[in-house]
Structure 1
Amino acid sequence: MTTTIRTTTRGHVALRAVSREYGLGDHVVTALDDVSVEFPPGTFTAIMGPSGSGKSTLMHCAAGLDRPDAGSVLIGDIDMTQLGEKELTKFRRRHIGFVFQAFNLVPSLTAAQNVALPLRLDGKRPEKSEVAVALDLVGLSDRAAHLPSELSGGQQQRVAIARALISNPSVLFADEPTGALDITSSRTVLQQLRRLVDKHRQTVVTVTHDPVVAACADRVLFLADGRVVDEFSSRTPAQRIAARMTEWEA
């Protein structure tokens, strides 16, 4: 089957002077402190940092799941910070794919039905060919009729990726996509993410603690205390990434 993903400049993500705080009074925590960063179309970026560094907040703001207190978040020429709640929900559903560490598949639905769910929630009737293309992109065409309980952890995560891709998102965000997987399954999921970038020019952004995951990315951003403090590029070896993380944790 021939598979395609349409690509446009919509895949360009830009955070401009983004800040985010939590708490009140004397208990305010600055999760993001005037962060400006871009994720170009057709690239794979990994976000790393110690616990509390702001990496999850950065991804949630970039994905429109959280609103910054200051700054702007753009996907293409759309500033999500200027959208109302209903507009933002619709925009996320149609332009942003999000993959959770825990898969979040509906147990009573088959792989194909889980993949089709975002389109149904958007009031559309998905074509079988659309679902087939999404499953083919992650190498699971032969598992369409299987329930999640009949799939391995790696296969379930790949169904979750297919579900995130069904709406042809401008960008795919993944929160610790291999965190709940064994080594073999992790390698397969990473290969699929890398293939989406290399073959289909999908923009992928992931938060991870795993240097092996980060080593598959085109770029690694390091956060500390709510700021981007370092950046590696050009497929940095996992050993070097691990060494940089160890420096913070020492």
Structure 2
Amino acid sequence: MNPMKVLDVAVALTSVTKQYAHGVTALDDVTIGFAPGTFTAVMGPSGSGKSTMLQCAAGLDRPSAGQVVIDGRDLATLKDRELTLLRRDRIGFIFQSFNLLPSLTAEQNVGLPLRLAGRRPDRALIRQSLAAVGLAERGSHRPGELSGGQQQRVAIARALVTRPAVLFADEPTGALDANTSRQVLQLLRTLVDKHAQTIVMVTHDAVAASYADRVVFLADGRVYGELHDPSAELVATRMLQLEAASC
């Protein structure tokens, strides 16, 4: 990737390799960029390196080689505290398990990143974040009083409250039924279309991937092509081809 083009993307990985003990290579010379205001799904067979790529791209794990740039900042140049601050202030995370604190209300869960940053939570901002995910009237409810889809929406609102440059999602609909998954995916699509949010989502679901602008396929730690404006049928066909090739 031309270094000048790094300025035109929200996240850029250049020649990224990640090796673990015993010679296991999870990522092998991966170069890819994610443009601002776009929705990208990352797919691949089990063990393809998609979760490792997400962790390296989000600054949760450092690559063995190569460069990762988020919001114009080279992660390799950041000290641990600087990286922590970048993750806290400029990166949002959504996980399959929601990770909400059961003793806190929806508003308190959404405001938690602000409290951890030593900032007094702005109730208007918190309520705005909940309204953006369709939960304006649920702020006083605790997770146990909410459905799975509503809990995931609270988790999305929590990820959005710091106005992140990039939102990373790791199987965000994996614990939801089909109807609820569709609602969450439509919400993510809306965040991109109406608010120019950048989203990078790892998924194994072809239907989920079809909500993205682009699907990137990994196999054996390398990028094996991509689809633009994907349909679920095309994604499923490509996945079958990759899985057959990896057997």
SS at 2:204's partner residue?
A: coil
Aligned with 1:231 (options 220, 226, 229): 226
Q: Is the 8 A contact 1:59 1:173 kept in 2?
A: yes
Q: Deviations over 1:124-167 (max 9, x none)?
A: 00111110111111111111110000000010001001000000
Distance 2:180 2:140 in 1: 20
The answer to whether structure 1 residue 249 and structure 2 residue 243 are counterparts is: yes
- Post-superposition offset of 1:202: 0.1
Which residue of structure 1 lines up, in the alignment, with residue 119 of structure 2? 124
Q: Deviations over 1:60-103 (max 9, x none)?
A: 10100000011111113201121111110011000000111100
Q: Is the 8 A contact 2:115 2:121 kept in 1?
A: yes
Aligned with 1:66 (options 45, 61, 64): 61
Q: Is the 8 A contact 1:11 1:203 kept in 2?
A: no
Distance 2:59 2:9 in 1: 14
Return structure 1 stretches of 4+ with deviation > 3 angstroms. none
Which residue of structure 2 lines up, in the alignment, with residue 20 of structure 1? 18
Identity %: 62
SS at 1:106's partner residue?
A: coil
The answer to whether structure 1 residue 91 and structure 2 residue 72 are counterparts is: no
Matches within 5 A, 1:157-236: 157-234=152-229, 236=230
Q: Is the 8 A contact 2:40 2:213 kept in 1?
A: yes
- Post-superposition offset of 1:248: 2.3
Deviates more, 1:239-248 or 1:31-40: 239-248
Distance 2:194 2:174 in 1: 25
SS at 1:241's partner residue?
A: helix
Which residue of structure 1 lines up, in the alignment, with residue 4 of structure 2? none
SS at 2:16's partner residue?
A: strand
Q: Is the 8 A contact 1:137 1:162 kept in 2?
A: yes
Q: Deviations over 1:170-219 (max 9, x none)?
A: 00000000000001110110010000000000000000000001000000
SS at 1:107's partner residue?
A: coil
Q: Which runs of 5+ in 2 are unaligned?
A: 1-6
Distance 1:126 1:11 in 2: 30
RMSD: 1.1
The residue identity in structure 2 corresponding to 1:35 is: V
SS at 1:143's partner residue?
A: coil
